[in-house]
Chain A
Amino acid sequence: MWIVAEQIAAYAQLKRLSPQTVARWQAWAEPDRAALWELVQALQLGENHLRDFLDWCEEIALRDGSTVAAFLARPELRRPLTAQLGRNDKLKAVKDALRKLRYPRLSQLEEELRLAVKALDLGGRVQVSFPPSLEGEDVTVTITARNTKELDEHVTRVRQRLEDGAIQRLFALLDQV
């Protein structure tokens, strides 16, 4: 038990973690502390990422009545650790997977919107984006063109999607959980 606590303390010194963050982590039950330690070590988390991990882990555990160790063992969180990826890509993959657990309905809606945009088939030079965390109604359509002919083609395609109702469905989807 002391080994993890000491390893955390040494890591905290190395990464200059705040005493509050470390105290919070150290207050966890031993198996939970150790499960997160494994991730932290593999991903070399700094203060800000670690704080997000602590928040999300505690919130998921309380919501589901489970333990941190139990859900951190899930394959979608383990897989990126052994994949042939750089540290930043691993971090992104693990953080995305943890966010999906923490925000299941928001993540699902984001995924549905992503698929709906893909189905519009507007080509790579027309981007459709949504407000961060889907808070608000602004859907941003960005068209990039090298000349008027290209611009006309993109606009025509957007107009077709408006006429066949696909874009309206996209707006409606923003409200559907």
Chain B
Amino acid sequence: MKRYQPEEILIERGEENTPVVRRTLDHLPDTPVRIVEPGWEREAPPRDGTDSFAAGKRRLLFTRQRSTFLEHCPAGTSGLVCCNYLVVSLISNCPMDCSYCFLQEYLANNPLLKVFTNVEDLMSEVAKAVDRQPWRQFRIGTGELSDSLALDPLLGFSGDLVPFFAARKNVLLEFKTKSDRIEELLKHDPKDRVVVSWSLTPPAIADTEEHGTASFAERLHAAQRVQAAGYKVGFHFDPLIEYPHWEEGYRDTITQVFSAVDPRRVAWVSLGSLRMTPALRAIARRRFPQTRLLSGEQILCDDGKWRTFQALRVKMYRTITAWLKEAAPQAPQYMCMETTPVWEKVFGHAPSCDKDVARMLTQPNLVAS
């Protein structure tokens, strides 16, 4: 995949000498740099041009996170089964540009690619939360507001996070990515506490809808390498996309994935139907007029999001979970943002509470490396 090259680096006054800024400037010595005052981006004039969101991605701003890092995953909407996942965001926005990405709507008014410099605050927050409850198993992910690894060669956050999480027995860190930027990871020992997971769609979709991401083959190769280095791996068939010949596409994808990695050492596999708000559909239609994603049989659901209509969605889940069970019988499977009745139809049961799902995903299910 292509290397990220910002047009401009903006550094909030006072953050010039933080480690992440120093590392980035070492990697990008020729990129113009500007020092800006705290809060500058709120007054910054929008960039000219028709696609301000794409333009925003090319401006890299270093700033401090002034509120808390640790949050509950927002997917835990009432009425949907929740997996008790926590998220921390060191980056807001992403150098890649998937046509279905919710950031297009979520960051529409503030589309800079923002990097938070105070990683030490994140770690002390996490330490406080997880060390206080040593009996509880936590899962924490960094891939909520950005791709976890796409910028790692520049920012090097994995060098801070992997040793920190590797030292804790009651928490799993998940890096979620569509990139193949794993070089930094390979320098560290995850001590089985770090999961690197890939979001996957069949190559026909990845090539046309996931702009700037690593190809399917590149992602798979990266997964093989991190697994060999002692990391747990995970896979997210999310968004699950209904398109002509989806059966063949997903069947092939699953076959290739589980012949490339050791299925016995897969931490989890999730599935989640493509879901888009009406506003996000309008944005995707405008920014990617050739996208075929909106042509599936999607309807507006009670939570205000468009999804493939239920009977077809359930068919897709049942078909794909059966193939996954065959290919990786030990890997726990779960669904993201689905209702209890859909869980019952797909898995034959629904978790009695969100802790059930969390427990299933943190149990040591893996053979020793």
- Give Cα A136–Cα B297 distance, bound, in whole angstroms: 16
- Give Cα A135–Cα B305 distance, bound, in whole angstroms: 12
Q: Assess A135 versus B292: contact at CB under 8 Å? Given A103-B297, A175-B345.
A: no
- Give Cα A6–Cα B366 distance, bound, in whole angstroms: 67
Chain A contact-residue range equals 20 to 34
Q: Does B248 contact A (CB under 8 A)?
A: no
Q: Which of B295, B310, B315 contacts A63 (CB 8 A)?
A: B295
When distances are taken between beta carbons in the complex, the residues of chain A under 8 Å from B297 are 102-106
- What is the interface of chain A mostly: helix, strand, loop, or mixed? helix
When distances are taken between beta carbons in the complex, the residues of chain A under 8 Å from B291 are 62
Q: Does A40 contact B (CB under 8 A)?
A: no
- Interface flags for B287-299 (1: CB within 8 Å of A; 0: not) read 0001110110101
Q: Does A176 contact B (CB under 8 A)?
A: yes
- Give Cα A106–Cα B298 distance, bound, in whole angstroms: 9
Closest to B307 in A: A135
Q: Does A119 contact B (CB under 8 A)?
A: no
Closest to B290 in A: A62
Q: Which of B290, B292, B309, B314 contacts A106 (CB 8 A)?
A: B309
- Tell me the A119-158 residues at the B interface (CB within 8 Å): 133-137
Distance between B350 CB and nearest chain A CB, rounded to angstroms? 13
The total of chain B residues at the interface (CB under 8 A) is: 21
Q: Does A60 contact B (CB under 8 A)?
A: yes
- Interface flags for A94-120 (1: CB within 8 Å of B; 0: not) read 000000001111100100000000000
- Give Cα A58–Cα B286 distance, bound, in whole angstroms: 12
Distance between A107 CB and nearest chain B CB, rounded to angstroms? 9
Whether the Cβ atoms of B299 and A106 lie closer than 8 Å is yes
Q: Does A177 contact B (CB under 8 A)?
A: yes
Q: Which of A59, A62, A134 contacts B311 (CB 8 A)?
A: A134
Distance between A23 CB and nearest chain B CB, rounded to angstroms? 10
When distances are taken between beta carbons in the complex, the residues of chain B under 8 Å from A176 are 311
When distances are taken between beta carbons in the complex, the residues of chain A under 8 Å from B345 are 175
Distance between B223 CB and nearest chain A CB, rounded to angstroms? 31
Whether the Cβ atoms of A133 and B299 lie closer than 8 Å is yes
Q: Knowing that A133-B309, A134-B311 are A-B contacts, what are 8 other residue pairs whose CB atoms are under 8 Å apart, sorted by A's residue number? A: A63-B292, A63-B295, A103-B297, A104-B297, A106-B297, A136-B341, A174-B311, A177-B315
Chain B residues within CB distance 8 Å of chain A: 244, 285, 290-292, 294-295, 297, 299-302, 307, 309-312, 314-315, 341, 345
Top 9 nearest A-B pairs by Cβ distance? A63-B295, A133-B299, A59-B295, A177-B311, A177-B312, A106-B309, A103-B297, A135-B310, A62-B295
